[in-house]
Amino acid sequence: MPNLRTLLRPSPMAYVALFGGAQVAVLWLVRDWFALWIPVAGTVVLALMPFLLRRAGLWPLKTLALVTLIGITTVGPVLSSMETRSHLGLTLEQDGLVQTEAAVDRLIHGHAIYGVDWSDTALAQFPIGPDGPNPALKHFVYFPLQVLVGVPVRAVTDALGVGFDYRLVLIAWLLIALLAVLNLPVPVEVRYMVAACLFCDPLIARFFWTGHNDV
């Protein structure tokens, strides 16, 4: 029988169980926020992964399973909340998301984004901050690059005739980061564990769900 040290030794199985399990558990706790298929599908994939991870080799299949889990439990809630927003308006979105979207719009139309008032934008739906009036109504505190990276995505959504949501930018960068991790010059097991702890961690994923533009 394996001892406690063996059970706690870092391994792909342990990382998937810890971070994937926590992610799925959180999704069940907040199941009213997103489509029900997300925690259901996440549970199914998570339950099947140990059978695959116990087998030697098969890293392409194991990686595909992990990417599927990330797609369901991290990207899935983002897409679900974007769909909800298109019908109900702002629900769980963060004010920085709304302000950055407005900044992208202003930049495209040749308007300033620093030293201007934001009370005539959707940010006005967040009038109160932690300690009184929302200071974001008078200040834009983010770096220009956070706005600039949204411009090409906004151009694509305009061309397609669909609404722009800054979380599309976050998804794009998540995919770039995931590809970078999966191609790190380290053993495949290490790449797997890094991907699991970065992209299946609910403490990180929730920033994607709500659209924190500084994630």
**Choice between 4 and 190, residue whose per-residue pLDDT is larger:** 190
Q: Are residues 16 and 38 in the same domain?
A: yes
Band the pLDDT of 8: cuts 50, 70, 90: low
**Is residue 153 situated within a structural domain?**
yes
Q: Can you tell me the distance from the alpha carbon of 113 to that of 105, in angstroms, rounded to the nearest whole number?
A: 10
pLDDT at 90: 78
Mean pLDDT of the chain: 88
User: Could you report the per-residue pLDDT of 134-166, keeping only the tens digit for each?
Assistant: 777 888 888 999 999 999 999 999 999 888 999
**Choice between 201 and 129, residue whose per-residue pLDDT is larger:** 201
For the chain, percent of residues with pLDDT exceeding 90: 58
Number of domains in the chain: 2
Boundary-marking domain end, from 118, 141, 160:
160
Q: Are residues 19 and 80 in the same domain?
A: yes
C-alpha neighbours within 13 Å on the C-beta side of residue 124: 6
Q: Can you tell me the distance from the alpha carbon of 137 to that of 5, in angstroms, rounded to the nearest whole number?
A: 53
Q: Are residues 76 and 102 in the same domain?
A: no
Q: Are residues 75 and 175 in the same domain?
A: yes
Q: Can you tell me the distance from the alpha carbon of 209 to that of 91, in angstroms, rounded to the nearest whole number?
A: 11
* Region 93-102 average pLDDT: 87
**Is residue 3 situated within a structural domain?**
no
Q: Are residues 82 and 21 in the same domain?
A: yes
pLDDT at 157: 93
User: Could you report the per-residue pLDDT of 168-215, keeping only the tens digit for each?
Assistant: 999 999 999 999 999 999 999 999 999 999 999 999 888 888 888 665
- pTM (2 d.p.): 0.85
Q: Are residues 105 and 197 in the same domain?
A: no
pLDDT at 1: 45
* Region 80-91 average pLDDT: 84
**Choice between 139 and 7, residue whose per-residue pLDDT is larger:** 139
SS3 string of the chain?
Answer: CCCHHHHHCCCHHHHHHHHHHHHHHHHHHCCCCCCCHHHHHHHHHHHHHHHHHCCCCCHHHHHHHHHHHHHHHHHHHHHHHHHHHHHHCCCCCCHHHHHHHHHHHHHHCCCCCCCCCCCCCHHHHCCEECCEECHHHCCCCCCHHHHHCHHHHHHHHHHHCCCCCCHHHHHHHHHHHHHHHHCCCCCHHHHHHHHHHHHCCHHHHHHHHHCCCCC
**Is residue 4 situated within a structural domain?**
no
**Is residue 2 situated within a structural domain?**
no
* Region 75-85 average pLDDT: 90
Q: Are residues 55 and 140 in the same domain?
A: no
**Is residue 110 situated within a structural domain?**
yes
**Is residue 6 situated within a structural domain?**
no
Domain region containing 184: 11-90+166-210
**Is residue 40 situated within a structural domain?**
yes
**Does the pLDDT of residue 7 top 60, yes or no?**
no
**Is residue 86 situated within a structural domain?**
yes
Q: Are residues 59 and 155 in the same domain?
A: no
Q: Are residues 70 and 130 in the same domain?
A: no
Q: Are residues 36 and 61 in the same domain?
A: yes
Boundary-marking domain end, from 139, 160, 181:
160
**Choice between 63 and 213, residue whose per-residue pLDDT is larger:** 63
* Region 35-44 average pLDDT: 94
**Choice between 76 and 10, residue whose per-residue pLDDT is larger:** 76
Q: Are residues 46 and 100 in the same domain?
A: no
> How many angstroms separate the first and last alpha carbons of the chain?
42
* Region 17-28 average pLDDT: 94
* Region 8-37 average pLDDT: 89
Q: Are residues 170 and 82 in the same domain?
A: yes
